[in-house]
Structure 1
Amino acid sequence: MSQLTLNIPTHYNFSAQIDEYASSHPDQLAVYWENESGDVHTLTYAELRARSAQWANALTAQGITRGDKVLVLVPRLVDTYPIYLGLMKVGAVVMPGSEMLRTKDIQYRVNHAGAKAVVAHVNIIGEVEPMRGQCPSLTTLISVGGEQDGWLSYESLIDGQETAFTPVETRSDEMMFLSYTSGTTGGPKGVIHTHGWPYVHQRIAATYWFDVQEGEMAWATAGPGWAKWVWSPFVGVLGKGGTAFVYAGRFSAEKYLELLAKHPISVLCATPTEYRMIAKVDGLERFKLKALRSACSAGEPLNREVIDTMEKHFGLTVRDGYGQTENSLLVGNFVGGTVRAGSMGVPCPGVRVAIIDEDGKEVPQGQVGDIAVDRTAPVLFKGYLNDPERTAKAHRGDWYITGDQGKMDEDGYIWFEGRADDIIISSGYTIGPFEVEDALVQHPDVAECAAVSSPDPDRGAIVKAFVVLKRPELAGEAKVRELQEHVKNLTAPYKYPREIDFVESLPKTTSGKIRRVELRAAEKAKKNN
């Protein structure tokens, strides 16, 4: 399996592949959407091809063409699928963005990338409006889900458009996705993926790990705006000729189980946090999962207790996997292989992954080191946009350094040990401490602060902030709530510190740098005792 060879074509466009599939399977269901109220909307592959073509024609009419960068801020909608495909058809660069982003986040992405257009759901337009005049490259604003003064309407634009469009013949090495990911310092990094990336992802991760078979319904719970949505709900399902099940509702473990019992969902891909909450539901034996045969998880380590519970009640082995925004899946517990609970699994077919030391040399079995990937691996990103310095720092000799540490056993299974830097992973979200700290210090009462990862039984970890107040007498629960709301208002709400400790001072190096590692170690020791 490790000898897998990929022959990536010189020209490739994922939307053309989907169009071709739609030609031979026009009536097959591509997307099944349901909300909390039980409303249902669907798209067949023929309808998906037609609507994405209408959108591509509308984009062309608005001057959105090959190479233009377009920030997409839409939630779980039926139309999210044709929106992404239509942008691919014209050769535009898709910038996935969560609807949880705030004005500052959006403005940074638009200006950093030089985005020409923003496509946003009406519910997030209020966060876009304040920065309209601050983005010189921005010429086109398109609303989805309703009319808005000063914005073009997606629904109106596609109405009456031709239902045929020949996708641009893009090169496999052309930029296709520009996803932003948090860093420990500075703003988020723009991760460049090319048109050839979906071709690779389908043949490795979607085949050996995600496991969707043609004609099956698959539910991957990741939301649009995240790299994982591109991985599984989008490329992993459509690329395999499956049906994407979409639930547009708040998370509830019991509701998830009810949906799995109600619908012919064959494959489930959820976060460890979601699996942990499902495993805690009383009376799991009440739920007879209608068609579920395969389950996988990614985003953070999956604990053994959850795997055991799912096996006991549903006869399913949840297969953990590991990857990043900068790549596709790198390591996983694959279909037909032996799952070692608590392990990330083994390196993906055709991908060389090793544990290395600071000199770039592989360490002995069982020894902790940096998880690294051969920098020629086809699953890797092309680089960070406009950031050669951080791109260079991601490499060590012939290796790409993931920033995570682990160890490899005698059978090639890799075991996660923790982040090598200060990045916080909470409920599958990757959060840079700088973003949290930058928001906190903008509060007039905060003198300085530090944000670190703190262990949590449900979320894996939470954001914990240590805050030095200008006036210590203000410390208290009221100030905690005030600071939490302050952060939610300035940046995406999932980044807010769920715990805040007020301290007199922060540990620092002799040069004055805050020692987050010391705070993080103290949190780990306290929570694990």
Structure 2
Amino acid sequence: MPWTVMPDFESRAAARGEFEWDLPDEFNPAVDLLRKHDDPESTALEYLTPDGERASYTFRELDERSDRLAAGLRDLGVGPGDRVGVVVPQKPQNPITHLANWKLGALSVPLSVLYGPDALQYRLADADAKAVVVDPAVREEVDEARVDCPALDHVIEIESETPTGDAVAFEDVLADPGASVDPHDATPDTESAILYTSGSTGPPKGVLHSHALWLGRAAASYNYMDRGLGPDATVWTPSDWAWGSALGGTLFATWHHGGTMVAYPSEKFDPAAAFELLEQFDVTQSFMPPTALRLLMDVANPTEQYDLSLETVAAAGEPLTPEILDWADEELDGVAVNEYYGQTELNLVVANSTGWFETRPGSMGKPLPGYDVAILDPEVADAGDIERLPRGETGEIAVRPHDRSVFFDEYLDLPEKTAAKQVGEWFLTGDLAERDGDGYIWFKSRKDDVIITAGYRVGPMEVEEAILEHDDVAQAGVVGVPDETRGEIIKAYVEPAAAVTGSDALRAEIRELVRDRLAEYEYPREIEFVEELPQTTTGKIRRTELREQD
């Protein structure tokens, strides 16, 4: 069956046997998401501000506004192949910018408003971004980062009539109400976006994707949302739209299938406010990281307090724990919670789907239609060969797509790392898991040092480098340690500089430094001062030894 049909297969076996990608010859996601629906006047976006103000946008209105923005960006010199950063939270200007980019043939670079100037500078410079659309909350950070971004010609600020400096007001860029553009002639293989990895063993890598990315995410979402996406669906996620699962697997997947997306740009997850929003908008499907679900569990008797329409919750980013599933079954009257698994590079490839098979607590589920998944001997895979392990043995997850286009094109300007990601037709994930006798896949750990905290992937090297900027720090080693609420938290082992004594004041300064330079979620919640850090003979921090101390 082609991707355009998304039929309700009666079983997973039928889906695995009959589904085909059958990607179209011509494809522009802006056209797909906005112009193919039977009723262009249906609501695409419900927007609720933190102050309680509410606005809605139809597919036609989003089409018109993104047309006007595309024309304005074109007047600024943005064209096919240019890169445009998007540093905007859950506000309408975020998807409008992405859509305008694709109408011009430009690439989007989604970036979190939680990033500090160092994190923004690295990514904007690495992507050679020509323009960036920013929220006022991060304007100062972008201005600081811009000094070292030679290609960045334009800063476009939303919600500001008269931006300071040489920034341009967003509304001025789309000021012409009659402006329009002919969407760029594109295919599924046209370059679409650059997403950034966490940077586990070095600087974050830019992951270049083509337009087929969004089709792959829409297909996966349809399944892990138990085939509940369509014109009658209303969907919300508390996750930052800079994250691929929230942007592609939730927002754009919802629009691909004609549903309504809810936007709410909150600074911090509030479980009571989340339930109020679910009730207010009659949300039927939601994507929530397990950390958010654990916080929701603190609200007593939710179905008695709130009139909920919730049918399915999808979860990813960290393993689900059995108590979450028990809570949803008991306290949410049996709402399905489907865990799924994917990567920035490789789309969403494994999932639970309660309509097809029984969910096993702690399992990632089974391979989705359109992909083959194998558990390999990690040492053999590293040597460039493939050796499948028997069921029940732990090895590296490898994925083979039935259509290469739905996976990433390359790591930006990193050909050797791109080549190392693939062995023959198989793509290596760096994640260790095992498959049981019934075909369920169980996540074990990462091969590298990446930390997964509250659903965010954090590379320890970037945090270590930020800590080392403090004059009173000689060395730093960063690892993840278990935490009941967040899955893992970031812990830093810090070797103070000569004649410096570790103190609570120094801990506070280090935390503030990392918050300011990187992101709100990347600061070390635990800091332990040590006389000397374990190192290899080449001077690298031995993080394995640090983890063994906890």
Task: Pick the TM interval, shorter chain.
Answer: over 0.9
Equivalent residue for 2:36, pick from 18, 21, 29: 21
Superposition pairs of residues 510-525 of structure 1, within 5 angstroms: 510-523=537-550
Alignment-derived partner of residue 272 in structure 1:
290
Equivalent residue for 2:372, pick from 332, 342, 352: 352
Alignment-derived partner of residue 368 in structure 1:
394
Structure 2 residue runs of 5 or longer lacking an equivalent are: 1-14, 381-385
Alignment-derived partner of residue 338 in structure 2:
319
Q: Could you tell me how far 1:133 is from its partner in structure 2? A: 3.7
SS of the residue aligned with 1:318? strand
Matched, 1:443 2:458: no
Alignment-derived partner of residue 496 in structure 1:
523
Stretches of 4+ aligned residues off by more than 4 angstroms: 375-378
Matched, 1:156 2:182: no
Query: Within 1, Cα distance between the matches of 2:446 and 2:499?
Result: 32
Superposition pairs of residues 245-256 of structure 1, within 5 angstroms: 245-249=262-266, 250-256=268-274
SS of the residue aligned with 1:178? strand
Q: Could you tell me how far 1:493 is from its partner in structure 2? A: 2.0
Q: Could you tell me how far 1:247 is from its partner in structure 2? A: 1.7
SS of the residue aligned with 1:141? strand
Note the alpha carbon deviations across 1:117-159, whole angstroms, 9 max, x for none.
1111122110121243432212222111113121111111212
Alignment-derived partner of residue 311 in structure 2:
293
Identity of aligned residues (%): 35
Q: Could you tell me how far 1:490 is from its partner in structure 2? A: 1.5
Alignment-derived partner of residue 165 in structure 1:
181
Determine if contact 1:48/1:82 at 8 Å carries over to the other structure.
Answer: yes
Alignment-derived partner of residue 34 in structure 1:
48
Matched, 1:422 2:437: no
SS of the residue aligned with 2:133? strand
Query: Within 1, Cα distance between the matches of 2:106 and 2:292?
Result: 34
The change in CA–CA distance for 1:433 and 1:269 in structure 2 (over 3 A counts) is same
Query: Within 1, Cα distance between the matches of 2:75 and 2:245?
Result: 31
Scaled by the length of structure 1, the TM-score of the pair is 0.95
Superposition pairs of residues 322-471 of structure 1, within 5 angstroms: 322-337=341-356, 338-357=358-377, 358-359=379-380, 360-374=386-400, 377-471=404-498
The change in CA–CA distance for 1:8 and 1:285 in structure 2 (over 3 A counts) is closer
Query: Within 1, Cα distance between the matches of 2:409 and 2:245?
Result: 18
Note the alpha carbon deviations across 1:175-213, whole angstroms, 9 max, x for none.
1010111222332100011012212322x2122113422
Q: Could you tell me how far 1:218 is from its partner in structure 2? A: 0.8
Q: Could you tell me how far 1:377 is from its partner in structure 2? A: 4.6
Superposition pairs of residues 105-254 of structure 1, within 5 angstroms: 105-146=119-160, 147-149=162-164, 150-162=166-178, 164-202=180-218, 204-210=219-225, 211-249=228-266, 250-254=268-272
Structure 1 residue runs of 5 or longer lacking an equivalent are: 524-529
Alignment-derived partner of residue 527 in structure 1:
none
Alignment-derived partner of residue 383 in structure 2:
none
Q: Could you tell me how far 1:111 is from its partner in structure 2? A: 1.9
Query: Within 2, Cα distance between the matches of 1:163 and 1:221?
Result: 33
Determine if contact 1:344/1:414 at 8 Å carries over to the other structure.
Answer: yes
Determine if contact 1:354/1:372 at 8 Å carries over to the other structure.
Answer: yes
Letter of the aligned partner of 2:173 in structure 1?
L
Determine if contact 2:364/2:442 at 8 Å carries over to the other structure.
Answer: yes
Q: Could you tell me how far 1:343 is from its partner in structure 2? A: 0.3
Alignment-derived partner of residue 11 in structure 2:
none
Q: Could you tell me how far 1:335 is from its partner in structure 2? A: 4.5
Determine if contact 2:375/2:398 at 8 Å carries over to the other structure.
Answer: yes
Scaled by the length of structure 2, the TM-score of the pair is 0.91
Query: Within 2, Cα distance between the matches of 1:288 and 1:454?
Result: 35
Note the alpha carbon deviations across 1:80-115, whole angstroms, 9 max, x for none.
221211111111000000111122222212221221
- Report which stretch shifted further, 42-51 or 76-85: 76-85
Letter of the aligned partner of 2:222 in structure 1?
T
Query: Within 2, Cα distance between the matches of 1:160 and 1:304?
Result: 54
Determine if contact 1:89/1:167 at 8 Å carries over to the other structure.
Answer: yes
Note the alpha carbon deviations across 1:22-65, whole angstroms, 9 max, x for none.
5x312210000112322101101111111111111111111111
Query: Within 2, Cα distance between the matches of 1:261 and 1:76?
Result: 19
Query: Within 1, Cα distance between the matches of 2:325 and 2:304?
Result: 19
Q: Could you tell me how far 1:229 is from its partner in structure 2? A: 2.4
Matched, 1:7 2:22: yes
Note the alpha carbon deviations across 1:409-435, whole angstroms, 9 max, x for none.
011110010111100010011100000
Letter of the aligned partner of 1:201 in structure 2?
R
Determine if contact 1:57/1:162 at 8 Å carries over to the other structure.
Answer: no
Alignment-derived partner of residue 85 in structure 1:
99
Q: Could you tell me how far 1:365 is from its partner in structure 2? A: 0.5
Query: Within 1, Cα distance between the matches of 2:32 and 2:444?
Result: 39
Determine if contact 2:86/2:94 at 8 Å carries over to the other structure.
Answer: no
Determine if contact 1:57/1:161 at 8 Å carries over to the other structure.
Answer: no
Determine if contact 1:261/1:290 at 8 Å carries over to the other structure.
Answer: yes
Alignment-derived partner of residue 12 in structure 2:
none
- Report which stretch shifted further, 127-136 or 412-421: 127-136
Determine if contact 2:191/2:209 at 8 Å carries over to the other structure.
Answer: yes
SS of the residue aligned with 1:290? coil
Query: Within 1, Cα distance between the matches of 2:187 and 2:528?
Result: 52
Q: How many residues align?
A: 521
Query: Within 1, Cα distance between the matches of 2:229 and 2:354?
Result: 11
The change in CA–CA distance for 1:49 and 1:65 in structure 2 (over 3 A counts) is same
Letter of the aligned partner of 1:6 in structure 2?
W
